[in-house]
C-alpha cells in the first residue's frame, strides 16, 4: 500500500494550488473632506500598509469603486479629476467622482477592494 500512497502523496503535495483569498471590500463613508474643486479625501488608516509611498508610488492594490464600477486611473500623482484617485500612505484615498460631482451629495456609493 505504501508503494502506491507515496507517489500519489508526493504528486499531490507538489501539484496542489490553493484557492486565492477572495477580494476584500470596504465601504467608504462620508462626509468626504473637500481638497479642491474636484478632489475629496477618505481617510483609511487601516489600509496604510498597502498604500503607495515615495520609493514605491504604484504599490497600492486598492481599486476604488463608484456604485460597484471601477474608477481610474489609479496612482494619480497630479490633479485628481474624472474618476482618478490615489492611495498614498498617511493621506488615505484622494479621489474624484466620475463626473467631478461632490461625492457627499451625488447619491452614489463608494467602496474600495483589494486582493
Domain carrying residue 52: 21-114
Q: What are 17-23's contacts with CB under 8 Å, separation 24+?
A: 20/115, 21/115, 23/113, 23/114, 23/115
Determine contact, residues 111/25, Cβ cutoff 8 Å.
yes
Reported as a single tens digit per residue, the pLDDT across 66-112 is 999 999 999 987 789 999 999 999 999 999 999 999 999 999 999 99
Domain annotation covers residue 98: yes
pTM for this entry: 0.79
d(CA 69, CA 100) in angstroms, rounded, equals 16
- The verdict on residue 109 lying in a domain is yes
**Could you tell me the pLDDT band of residue 7, with boundaries at 50, 70 and 90?**
confident
Q: Which residue has the higher pLDDT, 65 or 79?
A: 65
Q: Is 5 a domain residue?
A: no
pLDDT of residue 79: 86
Residue 64, strand partner residues: 112
Considering its fold, how many domains does the chain have in total?
1
**The pLDDT of residue 102:** 98
Would 10 be classed as within a structural domain?
no
39-51 pLDDT per residue, tens: 999 998 889 999 9
- The per-residue DSSP string of 49-76 comes to GGSBBTTBTT----EEEETTEE---SS-
What's the mean per-residue pLDDT of the chain? Answer: 88
- Residue 13 located in a structural domain: no
Residue 3 falls within a domain, yes or no?
Answer: no
Amino acid at each position: 500500500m505504501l508503494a502506491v500512497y507515496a507517489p500519489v502523496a508526493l504528486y499531490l503535495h507538489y501539484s496542489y494550488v490553493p484557492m486565492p483569498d477572495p477580494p476584500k471590500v470596504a465601504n467608504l463613508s462620508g462626509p468626504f473632506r473637500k481638497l479642491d474643486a474636484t478632489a475629496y479625501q477618505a481617510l483609511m488608516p487601516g489600509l496604510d500598509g498597502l498604500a503607495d509611498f515615495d520609493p514605491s508610488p504604484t504599490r497600492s492594490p486598492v481599486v476604488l469603486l463608484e456604485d460597484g464600477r471601477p474608477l481610474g486611473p489609479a496612482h494619480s500623482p497630479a490633479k485628481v479629476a474624472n474618476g482618478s484617485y490615489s492611495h498614498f500612505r498617511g493621506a488615505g484615498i484622494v479621489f474624484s467622482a466620475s463626473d467631478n460631482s461632490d461625492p457627499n451629495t451625488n447619491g452614489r456609493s463608494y467602496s474600495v477592494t483589494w486582493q
